Every structure is written in C-alpha cells, then in structure tokens.
Structure 1
Amino acid sequence: MAMPTTQEFAETAYTAYGQSTGLRTHDGAPMPGWDELTDRTRAAWIQAAGAVALAAIAGLTGAPAGSTGPDVGDVVLVPVVPDENNGAAVAPAIVTRVWSRTTVNVRVLGDGNAITWRTSLLHVESLDDVLPGAAVWAWPGGES
C-alpha cells in the first residue's frame, strides 16, 4: 500500500472539516466541494496538510519539526570517550554525508585537539545509556 500524497491528506482533512461543521464554512456558508475550491485555497490546504505530516514525522523520528531528516551541514550530537573530550561524554558534530534519514557521516567537533570523522552513524532518540564512542547520533535536545 502506497503512502498517501500530501494532496490526499489535504482532501481527507478538508472532508473531515466539512463533516465536523455540517458542510459549512467558518462563516456558515455552504462548503464547496474539493474540486470547486480555488487553486489558492486548495494549495493552502495542501500546505497545511504537509506541515502536519512533517510534524508527525518529527514526532516519530526525533527530527526537528519541518525537517524530514538530516541535511549536510546540520549539527547533531554524538557520544564520545570523555577522557578524549575534556570530560564530556557528548560532542557536537557536523553532518558531512547523508546516507538516509537515519544514517550519516559526521566530523566530530570535540573539546580537544583531535578532529575525528565518524561514518555510518545510526540515529537514536537519546544518547542516554549509549556507550562512549558508539556509532550513533541524536538531534540536539534529544537526550536528557
């Protein structure tokens, strides 16, 4: 089964809105059908549905709202060996390659002289209980 398109989500939301209002607009006028809406109004419903879909994805994946995954240049957090990072168990890293929504390469910006590259790191929701140096990454704010 294919994932619905953003337009299909928008049509579903528009239909649900109509069902909840007795097929009346915000000002009590009869609601037009989806195909009778102006292009501008349909585009607004599609944009709203897309924003909801992205927020849902963010909630499921831990990605920032409005994002469907990491991009090159994003700052993420990685677990590091505290003795090699001035005592801190987490360091920021810059994404240098995106393999998928959950797998990236990074350049670690540790608090020390070493500049390291880490490859094929997998996304986790939290860095709590992760071993130092594990091949994982999390969004800032994703760990407690």
Structure 2
Amino acid sequence: MPTTLEFAETAYTAYGESTGLRTHDGGPMPDWDELTDRTRLAWTQAAGAVALAAVAGLTGVPTGGTGPDVGDVVLVPVVPDENNGAAVAPAIVTRVWSRSTVNVRVLGDGNAITWRTSLTYVESLDSALPGAAVWTWTGGES
C-alpha cells in the first residue's frame, strides 16, 4: 500500500500531466523534489483527505468531521426485554478509540444504565444481534 506521501506525489504528477506541466497561473511546474516543504505538505494533506474519503466510501467507516466525539449520541442494539421492548437504544460516547471504535453509556428505556466498551461502527443495526458490540449514527436506522 502506498504511503500518503506517495499518493501526494502521484496526485502532483497527474496534475502536471493534465496541465501540460503548468501551475495554476501558467508558470512551469517544478519537479516534486523542488517543491517547498509547505507545498509538499499541502499536497500530502490533500491526498490524505482523498484517501480517507475513499476508505469511508468502501467501508462505511466515518472519517474527517463525521468521526465520533465524546458526547455524541449514537445508537446501539440492546436486549428488548431490558429496554421496554425496543431493540435499539441511544448511547452517549464516553471514549473514542478510533473513528470506528468507541465506549458508550447506554440510555435505555428502563432502570438500567449500562456501559458498553469497544463498540465497532456498522452502517446499520438491521442485522445486529441484541447486545452486539456495535454502534451506528442516529438517523441511520430504517
């Protein structure tokens, strides 16, 4: 798998090929190795954003500004008998391990308030078993 820096150089080369090796203002494009550190960093950040968007599209794992934060409300599958008959409950994110893994405090419709740890993101809870260690965004349920 190429590094983000290698993606950036590939993108820069493709940009040059599409513009006849001309910059945005018509000047000649320098070689990748002649770019300033700041310009290479900008291309690397752009390439990283594109790579994250591609991963999100392929996996359904949120990226960028859509990643979970402490305090976000998400949905988790629960045992209906312990949640007044409902198979899904809201939960508050209490710890973010990664863009796809969180700890939550479940706010079920009953007396029990439980902690759930290391829940993994899924696109939908439609096929999740009650109590499974998964979460999804609110509004994601059909």
Scaled by the length of structure 2, the TM-score of the pair is 0.76
**How far apart in 1 are the matches of 2:97 and 2:41?**
31
Structure 1: runs of 5+ lacking an equivalent: none
Worse overlay, 64-73 or 47-56: 64-73
Question: Deviation string for 1:67-107 (max 9, x for gaps)?
Answer: 79766655432111334334432222234556676555432
Task: Provide the residue aligned with 1:40 in structure 2.
Answer: 38
Structure 2: runs of 5+ lacking an equivalent: none
**How far apart in 2 are the matches of 1:104 and 1:121?**
5
Superposition RMSD in Å: 2.9
> What's the % identity of the aligned pairs?
88
Question: Deviation string for 1:3-33 (max 9, x for gaps)?
Answer: 3222111111101111111211222222111
**How far apart in 2 are the matches of 1:61 and 1:93?**
23
**How far apart in 2 are the matches of 1:112 and 1:70?**
25
Q: Any conservation in 2 of the 1:77–1:92 contact (CA below 8 Å)?
A: yes
Task: Provide the residue aligned with 1:138 in structure 2.
Answer: 136
1:137 counterpart SS class = strand
Pairing 1:111–2:109 present: yes
Worse overlay, 42-51 or 94-103: 94-103
Write out aligned runs for 1:69-80 (5 A). Answer: 75-80=73-78
Q: How far 1:109 sits from its partner (Å)?
A: 1.7
AA of the residue aligned to 1:61: T
Task: Provide the residue aligned with 1:89 in structure 2.
Answer: 87
Residues paired across the two proteins, number: 142
Task: Provide the residue aligned with 1:53 in structure 2.
Answer: 51
AA of the residue aligned to 1:25: T
Q: Any conservation in 2 of the 1:58–1:68 contact (CA below 8 Å)?
A: no
Scaled by the length of structure 1, the TM-score of the pair is 0.75
Write out aligned runs for 1:23-34 (5 A). Answer: 23-34=21-32
2:137 counterpart SS class = coil
Q: Any conservation in 2 of the 1:125–1:142 contact (CA below 8 Å)?
A: yes
